[in-house]
């Protein structure tokens, strides 16, 4: 598996709009994105002004194909408008998963 962790800073008053945008992605894009496995949005205890996103794909090819999709770029531009600055991305191979049922 392959994915990214991304750190974001919301513009004041925009956190709920960001959450709604992620819910929209999950509802409308996720079923159509080949290789998408899971996504998460965190609000850290220590960095309350930060949000952390995680996106997991079946493989690097699926991840890159989604990143190059114009529909993904359109969604990202909507997200970026709600942020104070560009996200900080940490892409990499997922080397261990311990699912809990």
Three-class DSSP labels, 73-86: HHHHHHHHCCECCC
Collect all residues with Cβ–Cβ distance below 8 Å to 91 and sequence separation of at least 6.
Answer: 2, 3, 4, 63
Task: Answer whether residue 100 is part of any domain.
Answer: no
Q: Which domain holds residue 60?
A: 2-93
- Structurally, the chain folds into a number of domains equal to 1
Task: Answer whether residue 89 is part of any domain.
Answer: yes
Q: What is the pLDDT of residues 44-82, one digit of tens each?
A: 999 878 999 999 999 999 999 999 999 999 999 999 999
Indicate the pLDDT class of residue 17, thresholds 50, 70 and 90. very high
Task: Answer whether residue 21 is part of any domain.
Answer: yes
Q: Is the whole-model pTM more than 0.85? A: yes
Task: Answer whether residue 98 is part of any domain.
Answer: no
CATH number of the domain that residue 63 is part of: 3.30.70.100
90 neighbors 53 (Cβ within 8 angstroms): no
Task: Answer whether residue 101 is part of any domain.
Answer: no
Task: Answer whether residue 23 is part of any domain.
Answer: yes
Indicate the pLDDT class of residue 97, thresholds 50, 70 and 90. confident
Task: Answer whether residue 69 is part of any domain.
Answer: yes
82 neighbors 20 (Cβ within 8 angstroms): no
């Amino acid at each position: 598996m392959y994915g990214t962790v991304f750190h974001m800073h919301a513009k004041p008053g925009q956190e709920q709009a960001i959450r709604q945008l992620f819910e929209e992605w999950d509802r409308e894009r996720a079923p159509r994105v080949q290789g998408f496995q899971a996504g998460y949005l965190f609000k850290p205890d220590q960095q309350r002004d930060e949000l952390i996103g995680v996106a997991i794909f079946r493989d690097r090819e699926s991840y890159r194909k989604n990143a190059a999709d114009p529909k993904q770029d359109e969604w990202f531009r909507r997200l970026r408008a709600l942020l104070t600055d560009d996200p900080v991305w940490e892409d990499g191979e997922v080397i261990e998963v311990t699912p809990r049922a």
